Amino acid sequence: MELKVGNEQDIRTWEEVQLVYHSALKQINTKIEIINDEFQEVHRYNPIEHIKSRIKSSESIVKKLKRHGYEPTIENMVKYINDIAGIRVICSFTSDIYRIADIISNQSDLSILAIKDYIQNPKSSGYRSYHMVVTIPVCLSDRIIDTKVEIQIRTVAMDFWASLEHKIQYKFEGNAPAHINTELTECAHMVSELDARMLSLNNEIQEIAALMERERQEQSR
């Protein structure tokens, strides 16, 4: 039986939303785990600290649609909301972020819809992360649905800041006192400086380790 290639407009119910987007998350998650396994086995290096994934709740989707002026329908949900399925990749260093993003971009069955680099261009709040919106084909029994997944790639320090900022904004419903927002922005700058220093330190360690290995090889000849 030949499968019909469709798009997200083929999704008609919330149950189908959950099925299709959960399936897309599984596939992306597996891809990233394989990338990490390869680095561990072949390169003896672990660029990924951990991976988080989630399906946006129906309540959050409805709020987002209304905030952007759309009726809360299934059709609008799959058409206008890019982060129904979301996966977060936490790395040790900023250099790992771009390395992982490049590898994901080169996956033949993925299509890149959008990229937002909030590391080179942080939000006014200080938020930093690398965002990709991709589509991946989900094969059902009677059709293939190209499904959107948002991938966020960030360092441990960026993730810590973003998690705290989200909790604070949620508590104040997006209207946190000015002095708290100022403190958060200052902390974001500190996080950026910390990431830069840790990357520099790691590069120096790698250079020293490589030099020691060359010296060891020369002595063993």
Find tokens 């997200």 and name the residue.
Answer: 8
pLDDT for position 36? 93
Domain range list for the chain: 4-156
pLDDT for position 7? 55
**Structure tokens of 58?**
């129906």
pTM above 0.85, yes or no: yes
Specify the CATH class of 4-156 in words.
alpha beta
Cα 116 to Cα 8, 43, 66, 98, distances in angstroms: 22, 28, 23, 12
Tens of pLDDT along 72-105?
A: 998 899 999 999 999 999 999 999 999 999 999 9
Residue count (the chain) = 221
| 3 state DSSP class of 4 | strand
Secondary element (H or E) of residue 101: helix 94-105
Write out the chain's pLDDT in tens, 221 residues. Answer: 233 444 555 677 888 889 999 999 999 999 999 999 999 998 888 899 999 999 999 999 999 999 999 999 988 999 999 999 999 999 999 999 999 999 999 999 999 999 999 999 999 999 999 999 999 999 988 889 999 999 999 999 999 999 999 999 888 888 899 999 999 999 999 999 999 999 999 999 989 988 888 888 888 77
For the chain, where are the alpha helices, taking DSSP H only?
A: 14-42, 58-67, 74-80, 94-105, 156-171, 178-220
pLDDT for position 3? 31
Give dist(CA 181, CA 191) in Å, integer.
15
